[in-house]
Structure 1
């Protein structure tokens, strides 16, 4: 409440005796507490006959202020016709309080206007016309709700389209509003029709006798109302009026606007006499408050020369504060006993008492300012703060192609400028860079097959075994040209998993023993640098989803990859790595299984090739580790270099690091084996440096298996510098198009089926290995396919044992766990190895590295000649049959 004004007032406005105390009390009562609400009395002010000083004082009191004024209504009953009744008086009070004239949002009424409107309606009262009267009331009610029904616009019906439009217009203008109105007045739907339900639940006029609101409304109309008790009708009107004030003054913490009403409304009745409506209005307010037992926020001030309707001992105005305290203390008991006049508080002006000196001014009747958090600037301030908070939160976490809004199977965030996390829906497709259309396409294919897998599982009544595998790779971070596909390896591995998923979807619908595969795609960023963040997200996924049984991928052998393996081992998730080949990666996880031979086997094959085929006595080796990496961090390069140093010994006459921009003139015409032991991303620069040799290039250029990623990229090969021949290591030479066709002709079911799947129209884009048209399959497709199918076959084996007595049982994902499936893979493998498309896969006891896994050396005569297929010239390891390692030999 603002402090009382202290400016002097003119002598003609001298306050009557007790006036200052009265106005001080009124200012206190009208100020709304910050917490809770106070009970407001029916204040009856007795003035001497013919003395208008009190009324004049209150009029000036309510009219003052130019800012936030107290909502008020003034009824001068002396100037109103003596025939005015309660309905007429409430109509005028409602009009004045509804004005937007108090420096605050106007008070809105819902129940009282409806009751008053019904009392002005005239319907037929004879029984024969009752039905038509009810229909008329329904139409009027619907129109009163703001749905004006006019003439429908005319639409020509000469054509079928015109008839359809006419029907739609009729539905929108008549049928739909009518249905909504009927639902509202029924009171049976919680969301709509609250005002109608209130009339049927309040206590006046026995609304339950009418069964429906329409019947009750009919009783309030003119003519039909004659049979009702007039006092009950008046109390209903007043109760509806007070209910609207209660709703307007309720406080809800989620709506700051409710807290802006800081002053109670006041109704000033001047000239109250026993023969006018003022007496009746004060009496029924008292009765309604007693009978309903509910408080309301209205302060009623009646100025009269006669005593109130109920006898009450008056107190002098000068004792207004003390009188209020006594009244408030006695109210609970008088209210409980429902005594007449319980809410009345009578104050009397004394005729002979001295007035207030003219220099003293009364307090101003203005509404206090709302609390700071409820003021109008708050929504805008909150919006600004929220936007700023979202901006701060999103900075470094959000990008147009990385939206960190978590759903059931999408959890991503921006880390170091890369979108890290996992997804199994098109809501998040990794890598929006130009040139990576095929990478995005295979993700979308997998996500579409995920939906198909879920649908097939649902139709099988959840009988088929169901597993989820996570592909974890480096899907972002490489710098690329707009026409350059830089993620060939990752795309091929995803294609391999998509092929496994596709093959399982093609199983017969009645094959309850055939598993279904769901795939989640996860990104660990460039060089697996953010693998820790990705694994932490996957840990939550594995905890919540029991179908998650393993991880496939981890494309780079680095220290960050080793750390991710340790974390995945802690989480309890097996890892099947299609191409990781750094030596002893399995020491980081007891649940690790490699699909490719380790680097020491690659070094053995390269040394055997140099000795047996090239017949050279020495070798030069150059190694690279890629951007922002080192030999210590790059486990693939470091273990490969160690293996070459061990195999060649003193014949390794040069071992050096090559960096972009370094010249290689010293290698021109070199007769020994020049070996590139680095990352594929630097191979193009390496070739560019050798181009300076012109017509005298090194005689025997050989590269490691990382260069396979370069050779699988037609865009890079086509623009390769020079026309050098190169021989490079392959981990899946048994899965080339020619080898697959030969296997299919020899009735090799595993490779023949794989060839069929990769050539299908509705899987890979474009289809692979088609005669004369299809591009090569890519060796990582078969390696990832083998990894996924090893897990699938292990789960099917476990499912068969778990359900051997009841083949019709539903599959319970919690019946198995990732560690158990890994153990089953090893158990099956111990029987003779897994006959993979990329070659036989066998593991030694207590090892995650394959034994005698097939490796080969492929040769191309000219690197830029994309149309020429590589030719296998040398290989090591076992192809298909179990048995001793046949060693390394020249291809035939």
Structure 2
């Protein structure tokens, strides 16, 4: 069937360039037409009235007010003529009233979240001398009545017979008990089928809904009187967010609902009489904030008519350049909204005098919505829809595999949160991260899960005599933006490889070695930047309660406030945490069961300062820090404590300390002879190098980067495409675990490092095997750090097992005979003598501290970052490699 030609959004104007009053209608015609695929982002158009000439408000009111049939949903509000509309709630109430009308030739827009929020704000729970519980009961009764679930009058059944009594009970169930039960289930938000609007309020971000635990508690905070303790701006943002959420849902396109595709034009709000700092300006500002803070788009176009430009974007563009201005705004929007700029969504235009006055005899065109596609029209028979559903069901039954789902076998519990699969798994039924380019990350998970099955079988064959423990790897396994050919989770993959190596080493023990432990690993995802670590820890709490073999957590990846919160929760649960790479100072303040494998930031700063003074012999330093996307210096504990350490250690010699963001130029550093330090997150390092590329033949002489850049240097894909040919020196936490160092240790009969080299080079473990035939792939420093963390716990469990059954070596292992807190104490007891002989250096702890003492750190140097084949060279190091006194810092 041939698709009919879609009529234009507005009647065509005469041929030739736009003249007179055609500019504004042409601009709205372009913005309001909804694309057949996808959606466009809509700005806030701020039109500054011309000093003389026509009135754009009158033109636009005629434009949206004409036409018949399928009209664009619109609301017009003249703020100068409506003194009763004095605040944002009043504007939204009027906007809701106008857009809810069935007056646009199509199904009306339905609102579910905003009316509930607005209704709650009009409720008063002042119960006088009654208790707070009476206020809650009043709110429950009103909510139930508002839902329309309760009948005002209930029919009575007369008679004292058994039949009459039964009918009364039945009517009571139908009229009161069943609706009441349904209401309680809906308000709880725990059942997916019902209560979606209540769940939305508890999951959105304004007014901290989680502090209220339940929706009823949150709803109570919105009522009159109780609302006085909340920030007015947060309340206004909640109302606006709820209003926009209703528009988003109304404009969703679902394949199984052709009616969704009948909305072919976006709704528009025309605000006339807007003044700077008035209610119209406030609404525009809040709309900008909500879009930036939630990261959600919405289908509302706002046109504000004012006499002056907004202070957020005082520069105006003539209306004849409107197309160019909108294109430039759309191109810059991803960056400006990420930076949460106050003018991220504003486009300020200045109509000329002749732009707002139609030529004589020419009326403005009418605002008419295009016809929907043929397959979305009402004449299609229901049989076509049914056939599509049956075909889609058959296809899904044979091919569909969800990448985030619970499994009937193994220990799997996951939840989709903000588009990320959060939870834990110990089997191949749930492998985290289905993004392209992450094959190696998925492969090592499958290797761990296969070794889980092997460890279980070996344990059963030993008649359960061997100690058997479970460690949870909690890390960031989703959330990064990646190319299809880019491995973006190198660090997480390396840490999982370290745990897989520990498993493998234990499986290679003799079958008769009843004292050798077996390791079971559960892989858990806390989401991007550990933002969903809270829900993940709550799931792990239930796992540890049900499975007594769970004795600790390894991982946590990044030092952020969300990570610190997760540490506090894990401490409450009673699970020790061994962090291979966390290095923010004082992370152990968050948990008495925390053990850090890497040196803290204070040691890293001390090494850099000593290197600058003793080797480079420079007298001053410039430092730039960055916290990565959607983060701040307060939230990023790693960068925050690093910056504090630099200020304290360098003092007045630190002559420049600035934040670096994408797009900032660094030409001021060209030819700089002092120490130039990158003290930020690895994700920003590529942009930092691109900025330094402008220096050409006069680059800064001494570029040093923190240990976060190890993530960048461990990623061959990123390094190969790195800009420029600058030499870079960067901090390494495991320089003793390079292939050359491991071979030298094996030749010197170093058992710990020699055995580790044997395991990582095995043909049936890592893909590809490491350090083989003199030219194998490098180990990756996080492999050794995670291996050390796991083996410290394993050796502690083996020691406890030996003491528990010293009189009867043939007895079965009872998992409940040890507990996580006891294992943590045993780790510290074993460490108290000479320290743990780790592959990446000896690990010692001071009393009452979770930070290692004199842990080895090194500075590695590469002559050219893109030269992936060249192995970094160690130029400086601090700390101890083996047991013995601290040798201090010295060149290598």
Q: Deviations over 1:814-855 (max 9, x none)?
A: 000000000000000001100000100000000000000000
Residue 401 of structure 1 deviates from its aligned partner by 1.1
Residue 887 of structure 1 deviates from its aligned partner by 1.2
* Contact kept in structure 2, 1:549 and 1:574, CA below 8 Å: yes
Q: Which runs of 5+ in 1 are unaligned?
A: 1-370, 373-385
Residue 886 of structure 1 deviates from its aligned partner by 1.6
Counterpart of 1:612 in structure 2 is: 614
What is the alpha-carbon distance in structure 1 between the residues aligned to residue 655 and residue 570 of structure 2? 41
Counterpart of 1:737 in structure 2 is: 739
Distance 1:393 1:443, change over 3 A: farther
* Contact kept in structure 2, 1:833 and 1:842, CA below 8 Å: yes
Distance 1:824 1:704, change over 3 A: same
Counterpart of 1:639 in structure 2 is: 641
Moved more, 490-499 or 389-398: 389-398
Counterpart of 1:694 in structure 2 is: 696
What is the alpha-carbon distance in structure 2 between the residues aligned to residue 402 and residue 392 of structure 1? 24
TM-score (norm 1): 0.56
Moved more, 603-612 or 408-417: 408-417
Counterpart of 1:456 in structure 2 is: 458
* Contact kept in structure 1, 2:407 and 2:429, CA below 8 Å: no
Moved more, 766-775 or 677-686: 766-775
Q: Deviations over 1:244-282 (max 9, x none)?
A: xxxxxxxxxxxxxxxxxxxxxxxxxxxxxxxxxxxxxxx
Residue 387 of structure 1 deviates from its aligned partner by 9.8
Distance 1:452 1:405, change over 3 A: closer
What is the alpha-carbon distance in structure 2 between the residues aligned to residue 567 and residue 525 of structure 1? 16
What is the alpha-carbon distance in structure 2 between the residues aligned to residue 448 and residue 393 of structure 1? 42
Counterpart of 2:825 in structure 1 is: 823
* Residues 1:757 and 2:778 aligned together: no
* Contact kept in structure 2, 1:406 and 1:412, CA below 8 Å: no
Residue 835 of structure 1 aligns to a residue whose secondary structure is strand
Q: Deviations over 1:421-475 (max 9, x none)?
A: 0000011100000110000000000000000000000000000000000000000
Alignment of 1:857-872 (within 5 A): 857-872=859-874
Residue 601 of structure 1 aligns to a residue whose secondary structure is helix
Counterpart of 2:423 in structure 1 is: 421
Q: 1:663 aligns with which of 665, 678, 696?
A: 665
Q: Deviations over 1:293-314 (max 9, x none)?
A: xxxxxxxxxxxxxxxxxxxxxx
* Contact kept in structure 2, 1:399 and 1:414, CA below 8 Å: no
Counterpart of 1:503 in structure 2 is: 505
Q: 2:516 aligns with which of 493, 499, 514?
A: 514
Q: Deviations over 1:711-769 (max 9, x none)?
A: 00000000000111000000000000000000000111111110010011110001011
What is the alpha-carbon distance in structure 2 between the residues aligned to residue 797 and residue 448 of structure 1? 27
Residue 622 of structure 1 aligns to a residue whose secondary structure is strand
Residue 868 of structure 2 aligns to a residue whose secondary structure is coil
What is the alpha-carbon distance in structure 1 between the residues aligned to residue 765 and residue 194 of structure 2? 44
* Residues 1:886 and 2:887 aligned together: yes
What is the alpha-carbon distance in structure 2 between the residues aligned to residue 748 and residue 563 of structure 1? 39
What is the alpha-carbon distance in structure 2 between the residues aligned to residue 391 and residue 447 of structure 1? 36
What is the alpha-carbon distance in structure 2 between the residues aligned to residue 464 and residue 426 of structure 1? 25
Distance 1:535 1:688, change over 3 A: same
Counterpart of 1:840 in structure 2 is: 842
What is the alpha-carbon distance in structure 1 between the residues aligned to residue 504 and residue 407 of structure 2? 29
Moved more, 735-744 or 399-408: 399-408
Query: CA RMSD, aligned part only?
Result: 2.2
What is the alpha-carbon distance in structure 2 between the residues aligned to residue 477 and residue 711 of structure 1? 20
Counterpart of 2:543 in structure 1 is: 541
Residue 525 of structure 1 deviates from its aligned partner by 0.4
* Contact kept in structure 2, 1:833 and 1:882, CA below 8 Å: no
TM-score (norm 2): 0.56
What is the alpha-carbon distance in structure 1 between the residues aligned to residue 565 and residue 426 of structure 2? 24
Residue correspondences, number = 509
Residue 684 of structure 1 deviates from its aligned partner by 0.3
Q: 2:803 aligns with which of 793, 801, 804?
A: 801
* Contact kept in structure 2, 1:474 and 1:526, CA below 8 Å: yes
Residue 773 of structure 1 deviates from its aligned partner by 3.7
Counterpart of 2:553 in structure 1 is: 551
Residue 771 of structure 1 deviates from its aligned partner by 2.4
Q: Deviations over 1:630-678 (max 9, x none)?
A: 0000000010111111111100000000001111010011100100000
Alignment of 1:118-137 (within 5 A): none
What is the alpha-carbon distance in structure 1 between the residues aligned to residue 401 and residue 613 of structure 2? 54
* Contact kept in structure 2, 1:833 and 1:841, CA below 8 Å: yes
* Contact kept in structure 1, 2:410 and 2:427, CA below 8 Å: no
What is the alpha-carbon distance in structure 1 between the residues aligned to residue 598 and residue 404 of structure 2? 33
What is the alpha-carbon distance in structure 1 between the residues aligned to residue 454 and residue 197 of structure 2? 39
Residue 475 of structure 1 aligns to a residue whose secondary structure is coil
Residue 710 of structure 1 deviates from its aligned partner by 0.3
Residue 620 of structure 1 aligns to a residue whose secondary structure is strand
Counterpart of 2:447 in structure 1 is: 445
Counterpart of 2:84 in structure 1 is: none
Residue 704 of structure 2 aligns to a residue whose secondary structure is strand
Alignment of 1:155-234 (within 5 A): none
* Contact kept in structure 2, 1:402 and 1:412, CA below 8 Å: yes
Counterpart of 1:779 in structure 2 is: 781
Counterpart of 1:746 in structure 2 is: 748
Counterpart of 1:120 in structure 2 is: none
What is the alpha-carbon distance in structure 2 between the residues aligned to residue 479 and residue 859 of structure 1? 28
Residue 881 of structure 1 deviates from its aligned partner by 2.2
Residue 454 of structure 2 aligns to a residue whose secondary structure is helix
Residue 400 of structure 1 deviates from its aligned partner by 2.6
Alignment of 1:354-753 (within 5 A): 400-404=402-406, 408-753=410-755
* Contact kept in structure 2, 1:623 and 1:656, CA below 8 Å: yes
* Contact kept in structure 1, 2:410 and 2:426, CA below 8 Å: no
- Higher Cα Rg: structure 1 or 2? 1
What is the alpha-carbon distance in structure 1 between the residues aligned to residue 450 and residue 878 of structure 2? 39
Residue 729 of structure 1 aligns to a residue whose secondary structure is strand
Q: Deviations over 1:507-560 (max 9, x none)?
A: 000000000000000000010111111000000000000000000000000011
What is the alpha-carbon distance in structure 2 between the residues aligned to residue 553 and residue 474 of structure 1? 9
What is the alpha-carbon distance in structure 2 between the residues aligned to residue 387 and residue 653 of structure 1? 57
Residue 675 of structure 1 aligns to a residue whose secondary structure is strand
Distance 1:408 1:441, change over 3 A: closer
Residue 388 of structure 1 deviates from its aligned partner by 5.8
Residue 416 of structure 1 deviates from its aligned partner by 1.2
* Contact kept in structure 2, 1:840 and 1:882, CA below 8 Å: no
What is the alpha-carbon distance in structure 2 between the residues aligned to residue 500 and residue 513 of structure 1? 16
